[in-house]
C-alpha cells in the first residue's frame, strides 16, 4: 500500500487519476530552507523528511513530495499573504521560471530520492490582472502563488517538462520508481 505523506488535494487528485491506490498520513515538517541550500537539494530533503516523519507498517511504501518555484535563483514557496502573492506573480510575469518537485519513496530500509524540473513561460500580467488573480484566492497555498490547472492557466504560454510536476507531483517519475522498488520489505 502507498502512503501519501501530504495533505495536498492536488497530489491526491493526481494519484487518484493515475489509478494508484493510497492512504494519507501527514506529519509536520519544518519547511525552512537551509543556508545556501540549492533548490534541487531543498525539495528532495523535504520530500525525504516528510516520508520519514510518518509511520509505515510492514509492506507499506511512503511517498513524500515537496514543490518549489525558482525564478532568478530565488525559491518561491507558498505566499505568506496577499502582498507576498502579488510580489511573486510580478516576479513571474513575462518570464520563464522552473518548477521543481522532489519526491522520496521509503519502503523499509530502502529510500529513493529524485526530483523533476519543468520550465514554465508566463505571459506578462498587468497590475490589474495580478490583483484580480490574488483576489480570487487561488494563489493561497500554492508554490509560486499560482495554479497552472486553474485560473492562472490563461497566463501560461508554454511548458517544457512534466505538466503534473507543475501541478504538484511528477506522476510518471513516481510510478517509474514505484515499479522499480525491490520486493516488499517489513
Helices (H), the chain: 9-17, 39-53, 82-92, 127-135, 163-167, 171-180
Angstrom CA distances, 164 to 18, 40, 68, 77, stand at: 11, 17, 14, 17
Tens-digit pLDDT profile for residues 58-109: 989 999 999 999 999 899 989 999 999 999 999 999 999 999 999 999 999 9
Cell reading at 76: 518561491
Q: Catalytic: which of 66, 84, 114, 141?
A: 66
Percentage, residues of the chain above pLDDT 90: 91
Q: Give the residue from 180, 86, 160 showing the smallest Cα distance to 120.
A: 160
The confidence score (pLDDT) of residue 166 equals 97
The confidence score (pLDDT) of residue 184 equals 58
CATH class for domain 2-180?
A: alpha beta
Cell reading at 96: 520563464
**Which residues, in sequence order, are CB contacts of 77 under 8 Å at separation 6+?**
31, 68, 69, 143
Residues facing residue 151 across a β-bridge: none
Contact status, residue 114 vs residue 177, Cβ threshold 8 Å? yes
Tens-digit pLDDT profile for residues 7-24: 999 999 999 999 999 999
Annotated catalytic residue 81: no
Where along the chain do its domains lie?
A: 2-180
DSSP state of 153: G
Amino acid at each position: 500500500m502507498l502512503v501519501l505523506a501530504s495533505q495536498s488535494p492536488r497530489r491526491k487528485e493526481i494519484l487518484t487519476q493515475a489509478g494508484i491506490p493510497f492512504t494519507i498520513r501527514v506529519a509536520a515538517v519544518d519547511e525552512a530552507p537551509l543556508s545556501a541550500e540549492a533548490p534541487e537539494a531543498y525539495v528532495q530533503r523535504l520530500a525525504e523528511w516528510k516520508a520519514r516523519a510518518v509511520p509505515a507498517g510492514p509492506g507499506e511504501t511512503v511517498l513524500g513530495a515537496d514543490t518549489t518555484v525558482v525564478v532568478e535563483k530565488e525559491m518561491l514557496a507558498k505566499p505568506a499573504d496577499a502582498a507576498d502573492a502579488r510580489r511573486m506573480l510580478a516576479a513571474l510575469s513575462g518570464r520563464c521560471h522552473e518548477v521543481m518537485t522532489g519526491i522520496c519513496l521509503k519502503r523499509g530500509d530502502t529510500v529513493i530520492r529524485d526530483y523533476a524540473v519543468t520550465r514554465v513561460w508566463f505571459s506578462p500580467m498587468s497590475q490589474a490582472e495580478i490583483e484580480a488573480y490574488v483576489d480570487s484566492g487561488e494563489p493561497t497555498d500554492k508554490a509560486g502563488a499560482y495554479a497552472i490547472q486553474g485560473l492562472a492557466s490563461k497566463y501560461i504560454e508554454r511548458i517544457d517538462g512534466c505538466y503534473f510536476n507543475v501541478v504538484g507531483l511528477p506522476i510518471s517519475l513516481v510510478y517509474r520508481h514505484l515499479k522499480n522498488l525491490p520486493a516488499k520489505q517489513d
